[in-house]
Amino acid sequence: EPEVTQTPSHQVTQMGQEVILRCVPISNHLYFYWYRQILGQKVEFLVSFYNNEISEKSEIFDDQFSVERPDGSNFTLKIRSTKLEDSAMYFCASRTTGGLYEQYFGPGTRLTVT
């Protein structure tokens, strides 16, 4: 069964460093998302991406964040200068076209900023 994959599973970085979280969505999906979950809290929407551009972003997704689909398979989230409060689980999700079908989530990348 096709699935969304994410790498790395765990990333530790120092405050102020840049990180890139990688995702490989399900191959025939065209809508891509990033969400984050601070430990013990709810899952929060960051950004959605379709047709090589951002379709929507939340207030959390400020200038420190960017997304890219550098090739036909990867979807990345970059945080330019990490802060302690960026520590969270970051989930990538994707869905197929046509209606609001369910989003399938990857296993997540746990980002720890020290």
Site residues for other proteins per CB under 8 A: 31, 33, 35, 41-45, 48, 56, 58, 89, 91, 93, 95, 100-108, 110
- Report the alpha-carbon distance of residue 48 to residue 94 in Å, rounded: 9
Work out how close the CB of 16 gets to other proteins at its nearest, in angstroms, rounded to a whole number.
27
Half-sphere exposure of residue 16, counting CA atoms within 13 Å on the CB side?
0
Kindly tell me which of 17 and 58 has the beta carbon lying closer to other proteins: 58
- Report the alpha-carbon distance of residue 32 to residue 42 in Å, rounded: 19
Kindly tell me which of 35 and 75 has the beta carbon lying closer to other proteins: 35
Kindly tell me which of 75 and 95 has the beta carbon lying closer to other proteins: 95
Look at residue 18 and give its three-state secondary structure: coil
